[in-house]
Structure formats: structure tokens, C-alpha cells
Structure 1
Amino acid sequence: MSAEEAVKDYTVVVTNYQTNGRGQMGTHWNSEDSKNLMFSVFKDVSFVNIDQHFYISITVALSILKALQEFNIKKLKIKWPNDILSENKKIAGILIENVIKQNQLQGSIIGVGLNVNQTEFENLPNASSLKLLSGEHFNLDELLQVILKHLKMNFEILKSGNFQALKADYEELLFRKNKPSTFKNAEGHLFSGFIIGVSNSGCLKVQLEDQIIKEFDLKSISLLY
């Protein structure tokens, strides 16, 4: 839609079933028909500088987490860069594609997959859903409206330029922050360190041995848990 015409801010496309769902780094997102929330939102982000694009990801992750807190989902964390976990299990994935023209951000297409009422996840030991976690059945439309409410509130904070408040909230909720963790690098080697935060460009800041702090991008590191 956005490639063919001007799309209104907060245009939402929702589907009950995906035949070819995509996740980060070319992974697949599988979902049972009509049990989960899968949607994309178009957001005008022309007020964000291109070198601050990671703040869009921060804003979206925080919005989904804060929305889920309204439904009393417990022990919510953000696994860098923007997976949403509850009780150490993944319940939501976010994929953001930015529209860039002449080195300026124009819009973001924010894709979200949230496991809601599905209760079986074959060969996905780290996956869960809101129903598995709470025992309750959820109304998908109600969930969507609460998420959109939080998106609008947090994008207003971003638009006001209060980047540090968003980043502080995000870092406070980072999964395994300040805990000894094991990572795998691009060559497949394992190493240990402590997550201490993220850089403004979205790299993960890890404290290694001898108090050395190193920054890693998404292609160069994965957190094992």
C-alpha cells in the first residue's frame, strides 16, 4: 500500500492467518489460524533522524510490553533488540521496515506477531502465549486497541524529543541485564559477559572480562538462554 500511495498515519492491517510470516534475520513466524494477533501499522516517522532509527524499535517494544501489563501478564522483559518475553518465554516478535528517501526517514511499517490464544508450539521450547501464561482467553480486537493506544502515547514521547526517558525505560526492562550471560558470535564461538545496556544506534553493550565494554550489532552476536 505505501509503495503505491500515501498511507495515513496509524493505518493498520490485521490478518487472522499468515502463510509466510517473517521474523528477524530471515526467520519464519508460524501461527495457528485465528488464535493470535498479527498486524502491521504504518507510522509517519519523518521527525526521527536516520541515525536515531533504533528509537523506533525502542518505542514499539515498550508500547507492546506496557500494553500487556494492562492485562496482568507477569515478568515481562525485552530481549534485545525487540522480542517480548514473559517468564523467559517468547510471546511476541517485532519486525520494523523503514521507508527511507534521500537519506531521510519517511515512515515505518511495524509488523507485530503476538502469541495470544495458541497453546501448542511444536519444536519451539522457548515460545509461549498469553493463554498459556495466564490461563485466560483473550479478545484479539481488545488487545490490538490497547497496543495502539500505547503506540500513540509512546510515539508522542519520541516526537517530543525525550529519547533518554524511552531508552531508560527500555534498558530497565532488558532481559538478563546485569546478569552473567552466554553469547555466541558470528563465528559460532561462545563467550560470557554482562548486558549493561544499548548504544544510541541499537548495539548491545556487553561488559566482558577485565571490565572491558564492547558493543555488538544484531549480525555479530546472539544471546543464549
Structure 2
Amino acid sequence: MADQLDSSQIKKFITTSPKPVVDTFAQIDSTQTYSLKHQFITPHVVIADHQTQGRGQRGHRFYSPKSSGIYMTITLPAKQRFIMKPGVLTAGLGVAVIKAIQPYVQKRINLKWMNDIYLDQRKCGGLLVETHSTSDNSIRSFVIGIGLNLYTHSFPKSIQQRAGYLFSHQPLVSRNQLIARIYDYLVKMARASDQDILNDYEKRLIWIHQSVTYQINGRQQIGRVLGIDDMARLLVEDQQQQIHHLNYRDASQVRLLQTR
């Protein structure tokens, strides 16, 4: 495949400031693990052609086969507004990634709360947000993992029913260009207002006004998705017409309710 990762090309395509350090690897265990280990504080991008232990949300692995996706971690200095509202940060990241890649994807890309990239009701990517803190627990930087299935057409049996890809064949745009665009849009997002971020996120949120199942403390619940609040928590109306503000830490396994 001619679409080789090239740090010099990525840096050339980046148009925003501050410019990051860019490291590329043919193979790595995890770009996220590497970035956390090195405790970057200033803008830094780590990309791998293949991950042997790609990390996803809640301890899951992110399938990262060679030369068929974007597997990267972007470290950015922490901003107080996002420390106070981490949900808004995560929402903004999803919006930024979609804005970066949507012009090259024929169908509309959407977001499943909180941080899954969806196309045709299949997960094509995800985001993982962690932090680097000092010894006194002051957050210094956000460590943002981004995994995208670009043209991954073969998946392990465990995820075959829900995994998807963004391109049916290799697009004209290169991975280097897409990576640069994602970085640019992330930097621009960090300068946008909370309300603009939340509005853009809700426009892409799937399953609004549809019934879903979800779990809180291991117990399955049923409700109807109404949208998100000003903290990017999911608004769900339960079967007794009570409205719940779900945060990502407490609510899990949000699934569309299957009816017969």
C-alpha cells in the first residue's frame, strides 16, 4: 500500500498553531500507553501503522490491523474549562473528528453517546480521553486516543456484528492528510464555545427520540433519548416519564431497543 505514514508530511499538512511534535511507528503496543508513559505536556501526536494492544473504552481492546486505519494519540495542554466539563471536551472531540473526515465520506457520519463514531449503524471508530497529572494531582495535559477503521473489512468474530469501516476502498485523501486535518480541527474545537460544541454534537447524535436500553450499576434500564444537557450528559426519559442525566462513568452499554 502506498499510503505510508510520514511524520514530515503530516507536519507539512497541519495548518494550525501550535505545531505538534509528530512521532510515527510501524508497530507499537498502544499509542495511548506510549503517550501516557512519556508524560507529554506540550502538543504531541503519536501514530502507529499497527497496534498490538490498542486500547478502547472501559478496558476494551481496539482492533488495529496493519495499514488499514488511523491509530493515534494527540496530547494537548489541559484547559480549565474542559477540566471542569470533561463531557464537553469529549463531545467536542467527536465533532472535530467528524468535521475532519466527513468531506471524504459519501454517507453521513454520526456519533453514539458518548464517543463512538458511527456509519450505517456500525461503529467505525472511537475516542478515549485520559489525563496526565502531576504529583499534586494537577491535570497538565489531555491524552486523546483516536481509532478509526478506514478500510478495515475483516474483523474478529467478537465484533463482526457491530464493527464497520469508513471507506469501501482506499480514498484519494491520504492518512497523512486525514491525521493533519483531525489535529487542525481538534485545535479549532478547543477555541469554540461550549454551546457551539454541544449544538454540533447533538446534530450528529444517533437515536434521539428512540428507545434504548442502558445499564446503571449493573441494572438494565429502558428509556427514550431526548438529547444532551450542558455537561454533555445523555438525557433519557424513563418509563415513568422521569428524566435522567446520565454521565459516562455511571451509565454503560447504551443500545437501541430491539423490538419485534
Q: TM-score, normalised by structure 1?
A: 0.86
Q: Size of the alignment, in residue pairs?
A: 217
- Corresponding position: 1:128 with 2:157: no
Aligned to 1:187: 218
Of residues 118, 121, 145, the one that matches 1:85 is: 118
Shift of 1:216: 2.3
Identity between Structure 1 and Structure 2 (%): 23
Q: Which moved more, 1:198-207 or 1:75-84?
A: 198-207
- Corresponding position: 1:63 with 2:93: no
Aligned to 1:175: 206
- Corresponding position: 1:43 with 2:79: no
Shift of 1:4: 5.2
Shift of 1:192: 2.5
Answer yes or no: is the 8 Å Cα contact 1:184–1:224 preserved in 2.
no
Of residues 172, 176, 182, the one that matches 1:141 is: 176
1:204 & 1:139 partners in 2: Cα distance?
Answer: 35
Q: Partner amino acid for 1:16? A: D
Shift of 1:62: 0.5
Q: 1:43 to 1:74 in 2, by over 3 A?
A: same
2:189 & 2:83 partners in 1: Cα distance?
Answer: 18
Aligned to 1:113: 147
Aligned to 2:54: 21
Q: Counterpart of 1:156 in 2: which secondary structure?
A: coil
What stretches of structure 1 of length at least 5 have no aligned partner?
Answer: none
Q: Partner amino acid for 2:120? A: E
Q: Partner amino acid for 1:51? A: M
2:252 & 2:185 partners in 1: Cα distance?
Answer: 30
- Corresponding position: 1:211 with 2:241: yes
1:149 & 1:6 partners in 2: Cα distance?
Answer: 19
Deviations 1:82-129 (A, max 9, x none): 111011111111111122445543210111110012111122211111
Shift of 1:178: 1.6
Answer yes or no: is the 8 Å Cα contact 2:82–2:88 preserved in 1.
no
Q: Which moved more, 1:72-81 or 1:213-222?
A: 213-222
Of residues 192, 195, 209, the one that matches 1:164 is: 195
Shift of 1:206: 0.4
In the TM superposition, 1:1-16 aligns within 5 A as: 7-9=41-43, 11-16=44-49
Deviations 1:58-91 (A, max 9, x none): 1111011111211134131111111110111111
Aligned to 1:224: 255
Runs of 4+ aligned residues of structure 1 deviating over 6 Å after TM superposition are none
Q: 1:96 to 1:6 in 2, by over 3 A?
A: closer
Answer yes or no: is the 8 Å Cα contact 1:73–1:86 preserved in 2.
no
Deviations 1:152-172 (A, max 9, x none): 211121xxxx11111111122
Q: 1:217 to 1:6 in 2, by over 3 A?
A: closer
Shift of 1:222: 1.8
1:5 & 1:85 partners in 2: Cα distance?
Answer: 31
Q: Which moved more, 1:100-109 or 1:40-49?
A: 100-109
Answer yes or no: is the 8 Å Cα contact 1:76–1:84 preserved in 2.
yes
Q: 1:103 to 1:48 in 2, by over 3 A?
A: farther
2:212 & 2:36 partners in 1: Cα distance?
Answer: 41
Q: Partner amino acid for 2:76? A: K
Q: 1:99 to 1:116 in 2, by over 3 A?
A: same
Q: 1:6 to 1:17 in 2, by over 3 A?
A: closer
Answer yes or no: is the 8 Å Cα contact 2:41–2:140 preserved in 1.
no
Q: TM-score, normalised by structure 2?
A: 0.75
Of residues 105, 110, 125, the one that matches 1:72 is: 105
